[in-house]
Structure 1
Amino acid sequence: MRILGIDPGLRVAGFGVIDVDGQHLRYVASGTIKTTHLDTRNLPGRLKVLFDGVREVVERYQPDASSVEIVFVNVNPQATLLLGQARGACVTALVSCDLPVAEYTALQLKKAVAGYGKAGKAEVQQMVMRLLKLPTLPGKDAADALGLAITHAHVGHSRAILDAAIRQSAPK
């Protein structure tokens, strides 16, 4: 199964693609979609760049599933609203490509990748590099996106084990 992770951002959105075979994870690609070339007041234009960029990544790498970080409410309500719109553009792009979208919090990502929910960005980067056997540290946005894909892989594997156990214990 191929999983695409998206770390939404209005200026820079990260993406990460992994292949999953049982418990084996393999790095495919990662990068960023940037809107920094546009005027910050051009919100519709920036959202279109994100939407088109995510669709382009989907077309190029043909994932089977996707995962996106859930936006947290921060101190600045305006920033939260803007980030929510960026996330909406990314999710809409995924859904328009008929991809299933799973959603995870930053806490879930950190627990799945680093083992505890208070892990910092640097720890997530290090663990993503280790888990995917990367030669160098991925950028922060790409690392978060790869972490979201890894989180979805772990959840999917756990669900498969649970489903198998339920099937085995069901009366025949």
Structure 2
Amino acid sequence: MKVLGIDPGTAACGYGIVHESDGRIRALDHGCWTSSARERPEIRLRGIFDGVTGLIAAHEPDAVALEESFVGADARIALFVGQARGAALVAAASAGVECTEYAPARVKQAVCGYGRADKGQVGRMVRMILSLDVEPPTSHAADALAVAICHASMPPLARMAS
């Protein structure tokens, strides 16, 4: 199973693609798209849409997994993250790829064994699980790989229930 994981955001949107086979998970690609706050919102969202569309075309994943929004004190940031999620969801739907969303605590639990792990712990565990030479270059890429690992390592019935 190939999974495209997305850590949505308009300023920085992480992506990671993993392949699970016979209980082993390996990374195929990962990175982060960034955009300037000076860019018009529709241009930023089009960049995310185009990026997800391009990754789906290149890697043909079986699923797209996104990290759910964490609604903190800043409603404006939550709105921007929601817009980024929407762009990614529409790109996946346009390609006919199913999407699943996971709460940040569930992703951290799956990858680190602790639902309140910090960014550094997530990056280190992603590196270990995927046998990467170095940690992903940004926390956004690490989070995207973590959400992809979370989905790929779920038992099939649990994936259906998510």
Q: Same fold (TM over 0.5)?
A: yes
| Same amino acid, percent of matched pairs | 36
Give, in whole Å, the separation in 2 of the partners of 1:158 and 1:122.
31
Give, in whole Å, the separation in 2 of the partners of 1:95 and 1:33.
20
Q: Could you tell me whether the CA contact under 8 Å between 1:23 and 1:157 is conserved in 2?
A: no
Unaligned runs of 5+ in 1: 161-172
The CA deviation string for residues 109-143 of structure 1, in whole angstroms up to 9 with x for no partner, is 10000001110000000000000000001121111
Q: Could you tell me whether the CA contact under 8 Å between 2:65 and 2:147 is conserved in 1?
A: yes
Runs of 4+ in 1 over 3 A off after TM superposition: 156-160
Counterpart pick for 2:106 among 105, 108, 111: 108
Report the RMSD for the aligned CA atoms in angstroms: 1.5
Radius of gyration: which is bigger?
Answer: 1
Q: Secondary structure at the match of 2:81?
A: helix
TM-aligned CA deviation for residue 22 of structure 1: 2.8
Aligned partner of 1:143 in structure 2 is 142
Aligned partner of 1:18 in structure 2 is 18
Provide closer, same or farther for how the CA distance between residues 132 and 158 of structure 1 changes in structure 2, counting only shifts above 3 A: farther
The CA deviation string for residues 33-65 of structure 1, in whole angstroms up to 9 with x for no partner, is 2223x624x111111111111111111111111
Aligned residues: 158
Q: Secondary structure at the match of 1:17?
A: strand
Structure number with greater CO (CA < 8 Å, separation at least 6) is 2
Give, in whole Å, the separation in 1 of the partners of 2:153 and 2:84.
26
